[in-house]
Structure 1
């Protein structure tokens, strides 16, 4: 059998389930760490419940993903997860889901591992959202999940510091309402409202136009140069204000007549 015939015959099995995201659909990728509890609490023993070193690793990984060949207009990270909002008109790899998912999982794992100096693996899934409101709701969902998880994490680890066992600490906070968890922390002298916002709301990364001073060697003159740089936002808003924030980012890049 000639190679071209063999190639055509076998490639069918590799691509038989290929599909592409339809036009006029927003794409959001969510990328999660695999077995990160063991990696961050045992293998490398990052500070619990939050560690600035780990935070910075995740931020740098997001920045890499926003520069690795896709047109990503917003990156968001909380804990060991990352969400990426693609430009509405993104056409990379003909919008094939298999390619986007596999490349992002690989790029994330490679970048994070190189920064950590150890193996950190990530998986990826893709949401295909038919309208702007659902995009806003998606990011609000992850923002509020960050807030909920931060409150529970601070309660759990404060109890562990108070010599509660894993099971005792888990049972102590199980079923507690938000106000009851706040009260638990208050009994230890902790006001949850004063916890850094990046722990409670996650971190946003997006593009900003900045003006920098340069030098033109031909004219020997100073010149102003506009550049696009990634901005890391540790003070994201919450609830309806966050919806408005995400909406503004979408509108900034939306050139269609939807």
Structure 2
């Protein structure tokens, strides 16, 4: 959503994705060492990149020639190269480039309202502030920002050097069990509010579901180890093949990169599905990784999600029909409490709705996968005459029964 604010004349050609890792800082000195390491890394990389691109753009070197010229040079030599060859004083470059950025929560006195007599009512509030500072791991920086000391503690002394290997020992790298199916399940966070604010049709907004499917297609295409995905409502489960070595099976990186791409795609594709509606604020999703040792257990998981799709959709269809008929939300909930599937079917028929004839996407969810010349199943589980080679397809069909998997043997044999 922010791209246009900073690049008003440049199109975002494809969405970014980000990977993350967890660093467990059990003591304040570990946090201090980590911050020093990251800021030193910022300086080292920026100095090297500044030299590299000056040599390429102004010096006329190729990238390989520039890299060879910089190989083995120390910090002083790079500084001299910039000054003598390009009249650049590195210390006068933008401090954000050299030092990176810190985002702090600072306490400020803010006017929250006015009394009847017009006098302001002030409260202590926290506001975000972006800071660029030379040494964020130093005592002086920490003492300058009271919020850091209050929330994180104080540094006992300044440190000048840190060993990266020491800090890497604190990285939490959960590697997923080998030779198992990896399922990355993505769920929308606070999507009830998001759907209300953006006026989604209840109980199912077809365009919103198609947007989710479009994002899933992008994820499947981007990450080739993804062999199947199943989605319903604001969730999607992505299945990675058993022998996948994607990010060396590190859970945090796999989850973060897939969730971030899905979220980026959702924001980027919004106007494709809601051309007349502005995205008022960006959605966000959480994710988790689960391993399943056999195809049978994996199919049980997917069957569970499809059964859940049916149960939730039938309930929600009844619920919103009752609300539309004049009942309050609490009255509708109480009315449906303890009812069985048959009771709900009868209720819907009173509203003139045959549940079995509702759009199959609402009742059975969406399956997204690479079609590799298998028999394509259409909604009623009958073979289609159309075959498409090596493309990602979206089907709305029964994945609980064996017929789907028999028609698409390459999915579980990937």
Does residue 336 of structure 2 align to residue 173 of structure 1? yes
- Residues 63-116 of structure 1, C-alpha deviation per residue, up to 9 Å, x if partnerless? 111122341111111000001111222111100111111112211222112223
Does residue 240 of structure 2 align to residue 86 of structure 1? yes
Hey, what's the Cα distance between the residues in 2 that align with 1:183 and 1:164? 18
Measure how far apart 1:200 and its partner are.
0.6
Q: Which of these residues, 302, 305, 310, is aligned with residue 139 of structure 1?
A: 302
Which residue of structure 2 lines up, in the alignment, with residue 125 of structure 1?
A: 288
Does residue 254 of structure 2 align to residue 254 of structure 1? no
Measure how far apart 1:12 and its partner are.
2.0
Which residue of structure 2 lines up, in the alignment, with residue 50 of structure 1?
A: 204
Contact 2:227–2:411, Cα closer than 8 Å, also in 1 = no
Hey, what's the Cα distance between the residues in 2 that align with 1:89 and 1:24? 5
Which residue of structure 1 lines up, in the alignment, with residue 345 of structure 2?
A: 182
Three-state SS of the structure 1 residue aligned to 2:184 is strand
Hey, what's the Cα distance between the residues in 2 that align with 1:52 and 1:76? 16
Hey, what's the Cα distance between the residues in 2 that align with 1:127 and 1:250? 22
Which residue of structure 1 lines up, in the alignment, with residue 370 of structure 2?
A: 207
Moved over 3 A (4+): 1-5, 246-253
Q: Which of these residues, 392, 395, 404, is aligned with residue 230 of structure 1?
A: 392
Residue segments in structure 1 that go unaligned for 5+ positions in a row: 211-225
Three-state SS of the structure 2 residue aligned to 1:20 is coil
Hey, what's the Cα distance between the residues in 1 that align with 2:399 and 2:222? 29
Contact 2:176–2:249, Cα closer than 8 Å, also in 1 = yes
Does residue 189 of structure 2 align to residue 34 of structure 1? yes
Which residue of structure 2 lines up, in the alignment, with residue 245 of structure 1?
A: 404
Contact 1:19–1:98, Cα closer than 8 Å, also in 2 = yes
Three-state SS of the structure 2 residue aligned to 1:53 is helix
Hey, what's the Cα distance between the residues in 2 that align with 1:163 and 1:132? 47
Three-state SS of the structure 1 residue aligned to 2:207 is helix
Which residue of structure 2 lines up, in the alignment, with residue 25 of structure 1?
A: 180
Please provide the CA RMSD for this pair. 2.2
Which residue of structure 1 lines up, in the alignment, with residue 354 of structure 2?
A: 191
Contact 2:263–2:284, Cα closer than 8 Å, also in 1 = yes
Q: Which of these residues, 142, 150, 161, is aligned with residue 313 of structure 2?
A: 150
Measure how far apart 1:22 and its partner are.
2.2
Contact 2:183–2:289, Cα closer than 8 Å, also in 1 = yes
Contact 1:57–1:112, Cα closer than 8 Å, also in 2 = yes
Residue segments in structure 2 that go unaligned for 5+ positions in a row: 1-32, 41-160, 271-278, 374-387
Contact 2:399–2:405, Cα closer than 8 Å, also in 1 = no
Aligned residues: 234
Contact 2:221–2:392, Cα closer than 8 Å, also in 1 = no
Does residue 260 of structure 2 align to residue 98 of structure 1? no
Hey, what's the Cα distance between the residues in 2 that align with 1:79 and 1:27? 21
Change (3 A) 1:21 1:244: farther
Contact 1:132–1:247, Cα closer than 8 Å, also in 2 = no
Which residue of structure 2 lines up, in the alignment, with residue 11 of structure 1?
A: 168
Change (3 A) 1:229 1:188: same
Measure how far apart 1:227 and its partner are.
4.8
Contact 1:88–1:254, Cα closer than 8 Å, also in 2 = no
Which residue of structure 1 lines up, in the alignment, with residue 132 of structure 2?
A: none
More strand by share: 1
Three-state SS of the structure 2 residue aligned to 1:151 is helix
